[in-house]
Amino acid sequence: MHTHHRSWLILKHAYVRAAEIETLLDLYGTVDDIVRQPRSRLSESGLSAEKCDAIATPDEKAISTALDWLEDDRHHLIAWGQEAYPEMLSQIPGPPLALYVNGNVDALHMPALAVIGSRNPTQGGRRNAHGFSRHLAGQGFTIISGLAQGIDTAAHEGALDAGGKTIAFLGTGIDRVYPAANRQLAHAIAGDGALVSEYPLGAPPERWHFPERNRLISGISLGTLVVEAARRSGSLITARLAAEQGREVFALPGSIHNALARGCHELIRQGAKLVETAADILGELRPLAAHMREIADEVVDKSGVRETTSPEHDDDYQELRKALSHDPTSIDELKKQSGLTIDQLSSMLLILELHGEVESLSGGRYALTG
């Protein structure tokens, strides 16, 4: 295994592409055989001189750093063609040759939804990202995002609050956290989910990493939800990649006076699905997820997407439901009747709203729908 690791790391540091590895394997046998070839024989494969050089005289220091990092049980290198390589990523153009993973590798095989958007969202955008992620993670979807501030952070946190899985794809080496403010969040994500990077250990947050990284966020996901995004933003690039990869694109509409709704509206005009509630997403993704679970079950011995469509059933929710009616009721009145705090109520009402059970009306009032 260690030998394999070393060989894959050599190939990865030589920037060999997944498309090229197939040719090399055909010619020489295993990855270990490839890296053992003399420089002269390697060049017969059609590989560029630069890559041949890098394989023949590998960067031993970088490889040894990576091998040291891999000593930890929670650290993994997942390479092209291995069973642990995510099926969803193997389908995209330009798949990574290998991924550094810190955390639970199984999380990469669950049906996933990417939740992305602005680094400077409105308070409402943040709440929506959190609420949708929390609800959908609770339904068994892994929430994928990019660990950035703003929407990304809210998405990861929402999934964690639901006790669900979430994965952050990094634009840095797997051993670095960017932005630094998210160090604690990164640690929590790696608990039952994962941090994933295709960059060498120690790689800084280079500007060009992020759009490149975005293809993995969209690619591993059945769909991408854009919560709030400006026109000409990175989120729209990710959404376009999702569409090109044949994935679903979802966008939340917003007020025409909210500049961060503009990107979402542009996507909707281009054919993205307009999303109002989590049910809008579940309706599209459940059939895809069911299919994917069949694939995932071969790899992971875990339950996938739960079939239940009803939201939380605990006592607090029952109290809240009793306090609600089809007539608009103020949150103060709900507080009085349910005995819950405003904070609890806000979060629970959003969950019910995302589920389509409740609608929020002007003046902070709420009513049962239907």
Q: Which is nearer to a copy of itself, 207 or 257 (CB)?
A: 257
Q: Interface with a copy of itself includes 102 (CB under 8 A)?
A: no
Q: State the number of CA atoms in the 13 A half-sphere of 190 facing the CB.
A: 21
User: Contacting a copy of itself (CB under 8 A), which of 115, 261, 281, 300?
Assistant: 261
Q: Which of these ranges, 41-49, 78-86, 271-279, 312-320, lies near a copy of itself under the rule CB under 8 A?
A: 271-279
Q: Is 150 exposed, middle or buried (0-12, 13-18, 19+ CB in 10 A)?
A: buried
Work out the number of other CB atoms within 10 angstroms of the CB of residue 183.
11
User: Contacting a copy of itself (CB under 8 A), which of 216, 252, 300, 323?
Assistant: 252
Binding flags for a copy of itself, 127-156, as an x/- string (CB under 8 A)? -x----------------------------
Long-range contacts, stretch 230-235, CB < 8 angstroms, 24+ apart: 230/118, 230/259, 230/260, 230/262, 230/263, 231/262, 231/263, 231/266, 233/118, 233/263, 234/210, 235/116, 235/117, 235/118, 235/151, 235/263
Q: Which of these ranges, 215-223, 318-326, 335-343, 356-364, lies near a copy of itself under the rule CB under 8 A?
A: 356-364
Order of strands, sheet of 329-330, starting from the edge strand that comes earlier in the sequence: 329-330, 365-368, 358-361
Distance CA 54, CA 77 (A): 20
Q: How far is the CB of 273 from a copy of itself (least distance, A)?
A: 8
Q: How far is the CB of 369 from a copy of itself (least distance, A)?
A: 9
Q: Which is nearer to a copy of itself, 337 or 360 (CB)?
A: 360
Distance CA 246, CA 238 (A): 12
Q: Interface with a copy of itself includes 184 (CB under 8 A)?
A: no
Q: How far is the CB of 124 from a copy of itself (least distance, A)?
A: 7
User: Could you identify the residue written with the tokens 């001189």?
Assistant: 49
User: Contacting a copy of itself (CB under 8 A), which of 192, 253, 284, 337?
Assistant: 253
Q: Interface with a copy of itself includes 352 (CB under 8 A)?
A: no
> Which residues in this chain contact a copy of itself in the complex, by CB under 8 A?
122, 124, 128, 252-262, 265, 268-269, 274-277, 353, 359-362
